[in-house]
Structure 1
Amino acid sequence: MGRLNRVKWCLLGCLVVGLVFVGVSVFQPGRLTNAVRQVANNDYACKARALTEREAIEEPTLVEMVIESVGMSEVYPQPIVVLKEKAGERYLIISIGFAEANAIAVIIEGISVPRPLTSDLLCSIMNRLGASVNSIIINDIQERTFYANIVLNANWTEMKIDSRPSDAIGIAVRAGVPIYVEEAVLDKAGIKPGQDADGYIIMR
């Protein structure tokens, strides 16, 4: 009997709560709407805060690099760009195409060209659309192939665009923004002076 009474009281309590919500929704709908909205906002804020904290924990360490040279590999018949750790002695050698190597060298040397380079065109498009380049990040390497992101600011929002390192570096040089490499990539593919670096001939 005691258990049956408890069940009855629970059902009665649920009925009372339901009637209260119905009454509020009929006579004071704004208050119920605000309450629901507040609950939703709190839930969204908690999720956003959790996402931000998780991203902060997972944020990789970035190492700033500078262009040491653009050259030709003596081992592989294609151009390379050599990046040097700005505050260290590690280097990163990335194979690129002939057109991209020429474009990067032209920008570095300040040589004027009659028509816009690809990096010039992309920077002009972004400027016209109200976007700006913040930096570029070389964020992965798989089977000797590097991957990169171009970090943009547009409408007060930061976004990352997948890119070939050669295109990203060309845009970074043209826009005058930092070049970063994730620490894990530099640990995996970086070299130090005196190590075998697939010999190259400096083009500039």
Structure 2
Amino acid sequence: MAMEGPVLCRPAMQAKSPAAALVNNSLTRFGQLGTISKYRNVSRFISPISQPSTKNIGPCCSFSSSSDGNGYMAGNFSDSDEDYVNSTVLEAVEVRSGSEGYVIKMRDGKNLRCVHNNSQGRNIPESAPQPAIVLRIEDGSETLLPIIVLEMPSVLLMAAIRNVHIARPTIYQVVKEMIDKMGYEVKLVRVNKRIQEAYCAELCLTKKHPALQIDDSTDSITFDLRPSDAINIAVRCKVPVQVHRSLAYSDGIRPVEPARMAVAAGLSDGLLFTELDRPDGQASVEAQEFGLVKNMLIAAVEERYKDAASWKDKLMRLRSKRKNWA
């Protein structure tokens, strides 16, 4: 697993298909979502943040079949299946880092403390709480991969996971319907590389053949997207989210149970449950804060600006009462 991932993001060739051009033009609206970075179509990793560029550049569609130098074929994503591992999207909302490691805030308000896979000799920078998408690598190692995003993609992802109804369609729902109308279907999403502190992802589509009830993997389209956008689409289309093994090994973190949780586990009569696995019945300020943020952003998406302003005022009052984040 200690393989080196790609370090350069080769510009993708523009598609010549009119249908692909339609998707390409429509997906440029994704420039309004995800984390803005000076790199194209990427989201940030926890590290010293560079000054972002204000220029929005939309993702592009690629039919290229040339190799990136590591055996990965941009137009035939099935050739490198062994380099990727499936992952699960966790219900996490924020990540912060410091000298003692990482703290992931879950949707229910609980905090999950983690350390880096390669913590020896590694200086972990201090980072304030930031919205994040956290992937759990499904290889039996309990490795987690946090990806820093903006608040809107994070809230919309939680809404999709929890099947929260939003009155007005989001851009992710529109893209899903466009893909279906064009006769394609989403095959999978891959987080395939990192450039400095920025991750890149791919959205892989295959042509549908309704008469044969099969998909044609030889007729495929690959889009370069930010992970926040690609994962949101994957969750709505119920397709796998895969991570390159080199990223999971080099950037992954693993949970560490605090001492008080270890004591609780010892009193559970052999049951593999800890305090993270069951509610304590107490009101959670973090969960209340997340609910206010969710309501505010959903109201903004639905253009109910008075409601959004009201939720914002409540959120500011709640935050003003808090002394510490943890």
TM-score, with structure 2 as normaliser: 0.42
Q: After superposition, what is the alpha-carbon deviation per residue over 1:4-59, rounded to whole angstroms, capped at 9, x for unaligned?
A: xxxxxxxxxxxxxxxxxxxxxxxxxxxxxxxxxxxxxxxxxxxx9xxxxx769x72
CA contact 2:188–2:205 (8 Å) conserved in 1 = yes
CA contact (8 A) 1:65 1:83 kept: yes
Distance apart, 1:106 and its partner CA: 0.7
The structure carrying a bigger helix percent of its residues is: 1
Residue in 2 aligned with 1:87?
A: 139
Q: 1:70 aligns with which of 80, 92, 102?
A: 92
- In structure 2, the residue matched to 1:116 is 169
Q: Displacement of 1:72 after TM fit?
A: 1.9
The answer to whether the aligner puts 1:141 opposite 2:203 as a matched pair is no
Q: In structure 1, the residue corresponding to 2:178 is in which secondary structure?
A: helix
Distance 1:61 1:83 in 2: 17
Q: Which has the larger radius of gyration?
A: 1
RMSD: 2.4
The code of the aligned residue for 1:177 comes to: V
Deviates more, 1:140-149 or 1:67-76: 67-76
User: Size of the alignment, in residue pairs?
Assistant: 146
Query: Which amino acid is the alignment partner of residue 230 of structure 2?
Result: A
Q: Which residue of the partner structure matches residue 33 of structure 1? A: none
Contact 1:67 1:84 in 2 (8 A): yes
**1:89-144 residue CA offsets vs partner (Å, 9 max, x unmatched):** 11000001111011101101111111111211110110111110000000001222
- Structure 1 distance, partners of 2:244, 2:95, is 24
Separation (CA, whole Å) in 2 of partners of 1:72 and 1:193: 15
Letter paired with 1:69: E
Q: Aligned partners of 1:61 and 1:143: how far apart in 2?
A: 20
Q: Which amino acid aligns with 2:196?
A: E
Q: Distance in 2 between matches of 1:55 and 1:145?
A: 19
CA distance in structure 2 between the aligned counterparts of 1:143 and 1:175, rounded to whole angstroms: 30
**Structure 2, unaligned runs of 5 or more:** 1-64, 66-70, 74-78, 97-126, 209-215, 258-285, 292-326
Q: Which amino acid aligns with 1:148?
A: A
* Rounded Cα–Cα distance in structure 1 between residues aligned with 2:130 and 2:254: 22
Q: CA offset at residue 70 of structure 1? A: 2.7
Which residue identity is paired with 1:145?
A
> Are the equivalent residues in 2 in contact too, given 1:69–1:83 (CA < 8 A)?
no
Query: In structure 2, do the counterparts of structure 1 residues 191 and 159 end up closer, same or farther at CA, with 3 Å as the change threshold?
Result: same
Amino acid at match of 1:121: V
| Mapped contact 2:137–2:248 kept (Cα < 8 A) | no
Paired with 1:132 and 1:187, the residues of 2 have a C-alpha distance of 30
Partner of 1:100: 153
In the alignment, which residue of structure 2 is the partner of 1:183?
245
Do the aligned partners of residues 90 and 141 (structure 1) sit closer, same or farther apart at CA in structure 2, a change above 3 Å counting?
same
Identity, in percent, stands at 24
Q: After the TM superposition, which segments of 4 or more aligned residues of structure 1 sit over 6 Å from their partners?
A: none
TM-score by length of 1: 0.65
